[in-house]
C-alpha cells in the first residue's frame, strides 16, 4: 500500500508540473522530480517506519542488505563463499557529523574483521570503507581524522589476513580520498581504491594508478554529477568505462571491474583474453542481490567474482539514496526484483 501511495504521489507531482508549465516534461525533468521524491523519502522517519515494518519490504531488504549486525553479515558472506563468490563488506552509514560517530564506525569495522577471522572467512572477504564515515567531513581536520581512523581499520585487517578498499564518493572528495589511499599504501600496498568512469578526470587517475600491485575498482559512478565534471549521457559513460577498463587490463594493476552491464562484462572478458590475462588476475564485482545468477555463471566459467555486501541498521537510507542518486539505480533494483538473472 505504501508503494502505491508513493507512486500516486509521484504521478500527481509530475502531472501538476505539466499543468504549470503547459509543456511535456523531458526525461531529465522527470528524473529530477523522482530524485527529489526519493531524497525526501530517505529523510522521512515516518515512511522509514512504514517501510521497515511492511512484510512486502522485508524481502527487498533481505535481498539487497545482509542484515543489521555483525553476526548477520558473517552468515551471509559465508553463504556466498560456499558458492565460490568473494565479498567486500560495507557497514552502512554516511554523513558522520561528530568524532564519536566516527569512532563507533571504526569500532564496528574492527569487530567485523575479528568476527570474520574467528569464522574462518577472511580468505575470501575484505571490507569497503567510506572515508566520510570515519571523519573525512569533520571540518579542517577531517582528512587527518579519516587517515588515522583508516589506519586503525587497516591494521586490524592486516592482523587477520585480509585487506580494505576505500570507497569513492562524490567528486569533491576525490583528491582527499586519493591522498589517504596513497599515504596508507606506503606501508600496506594491498589497499584498494575506487575510480568512477563517469568523471572527466578519471582517465588520468586510472593511468596514475595503473601500476603493479595497485588494486583499483572501476565503476561507472553512483553519484549524480553535473556536466562540468562528468559525462551525463549513458553512451559517453559506457565509452569512458571501456577506455578505463582497457587501460587497467593492459597494465600491471589488479583491476576490479564493478558492473552489472552484460555488454561491459563481455568486453571485459574479450579484453582480458586479448591481453593474455589469467582469470585470477582481475575480478568482476557486483552488488548483493543484483544478477545473482550471472554471478554464479561467471564463477562457473572460472572468473573471480566479488559481491559488495552492505549491512547495518541504516539500510533504509542506503537504498533510498542509491536510487535517488541516479534514476538508473531505481531501474536496476526493480529489474533485479523481476528477474534473478
Per-residue pLDDT of 260-318, as tens digits, reads 999 999 999 999 999 999 999 999 999 998 899 999 999 999 999 999 999 987 777 67
Mean pLDDT of 195-224: 95
Higher pLDDT, 108 or 49: 108
Instruction: Tell me how far apart the alpha carbons of residues 176 and 178 are, in angstroms, rounded to a whole number.
Output: 6
Q: Decide if pLDDT at 21 tops 50.
A: no
pLDDT category, 54, cuts 50, 70, 90?
Answer: low
Percent of the chain at pLDDT > 90 equals: 67
Q: Decide if pLDDT at 183 tops 60.
A: yes
Q: What is the pTM of this model?
A: 0.84
DSSP-assigned beta bridge partners for residue 128: 90, 165
Residues with catalytic annotation?
167, 217
Instruction: Specify the residue for cell string 578526470.
Output: 201
315, 66 Cβ separation under 8 angstroms:
no
Domains and CATH numbers, the chain: 2-58+327-338 (no CATH), 66-311 (3.20.20.220)
Q: Decide if pLDDT at 123 tops 70.
A: yes
Q: Decide if pLDDT at 169 tops 50.
A: yes
Instruction: Tell me how far apart the alpha carbons of residues 295 and 81 are, in angstroms, rounded to a whole number.
Output: 12
Give Cα 294 to chain centroid, integer Å: 18
Give the burial class of 289: count Cβ atoms within 10 A of its Cβ; 0-12 exposed, 13-18 middle, 19 or more buried. Answer: buried
The grid coordinates listed for 75 are 552468515
The grid coordinates listed for 217 are 575498482
Amino acid at each position: 500500500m505504501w508503494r502505491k501511495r508513493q507512486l500516486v504521489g509521484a504521478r500527481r507531482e509530475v502531472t501538476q508540473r505539466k499543468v504549470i508549465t503547459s509543456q511535456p516534461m523531458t526525461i531529465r525533468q522527470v528524473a529530477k522530480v523522482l530524485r527529489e521524491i526519493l531524497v525526501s523519502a530517505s529523510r522521512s522517519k515516518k515512511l522509514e517506519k512504514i517501510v521497515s515494518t511492511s512484510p512486502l519490504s522485508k524481502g527487498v531488504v533481505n535481498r539487497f542488505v545482509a542484515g543489521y549486525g555483525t553476526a548477520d553479515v558473517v552468515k551471509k558472506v559465508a553463504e556466498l563463499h560456499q558458492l565460490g563468490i568473494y565479498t567486500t563488506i560495507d557497514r552502512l552509514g554516511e554523513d558522520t557529523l561528530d568524532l564519536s560517530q566516527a569512532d563507533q564506525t571504526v569500532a564496528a569495522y574492527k569487530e567485523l574483521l575479528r568476527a570474520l577471522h574467528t569464522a574462518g572467512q577472511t580468505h575470501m572477504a575484505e571490507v569497503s570503507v567510506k572515508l566520510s564515515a570515519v571523519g573525512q567531513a569533520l571540518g579542517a581536520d577531517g582528512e587527518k581524522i579519516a587517515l588515522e581512523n583508516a589506519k586503525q581499520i587497516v591494521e586490524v585487517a592486516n592482523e587477520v589476513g585480509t585487506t580494505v578498499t576505500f570507497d569513492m564518493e562524490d567528486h569533491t572528495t576525490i583528491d582527499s580520498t586519493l591522498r589517504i589511499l596513497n599515504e596508507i599504501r606506503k606501508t600496506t600496498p594491498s589497499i584498494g581504491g575506487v575510480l568512477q568512469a563517469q568523471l572527466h578526470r578519471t582517465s588520468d587517475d586510472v593511468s596514475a594508478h595503473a601500476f603493479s600491485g595497485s588494486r583499483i575498482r572501476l565503476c561507472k559512478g553512483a553519484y549524480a554529477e553535473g556536466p562540468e565534471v562528468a559525462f551525463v549521457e549513458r553512451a559517453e559513460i559506457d565509452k569512458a568505462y571501456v577506455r578505463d577498463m582497457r587501460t587497467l587490463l593492459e597494465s600491471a594493476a589488479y583491476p576490479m571491474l564493478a558492473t552489472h552491464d552484460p555488454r561491459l562484462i563481455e568486453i571485459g572478458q574479450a579484453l582480458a583474453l586479448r591481453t593474455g590475462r589469467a582469470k585470477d588476475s582481475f575480478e568482476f564485482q557486483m552488488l548483493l542481490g543484483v544478477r545473482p545468477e550471472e554471478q554464479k555463471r561467471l564463477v562457473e566459467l572460472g572468473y573471480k567474482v566479488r559481491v559488495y555486501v552492505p549491512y547495518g541498521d541504516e539500510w533504509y537510507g542506503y537504498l533510498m539514496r542509491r536510487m535517488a542518486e541516479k534514476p538508473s539505480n531505481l531501474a536496476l533494483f526493480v529489474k533485479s526484483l523481476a528477474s534473478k538473472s
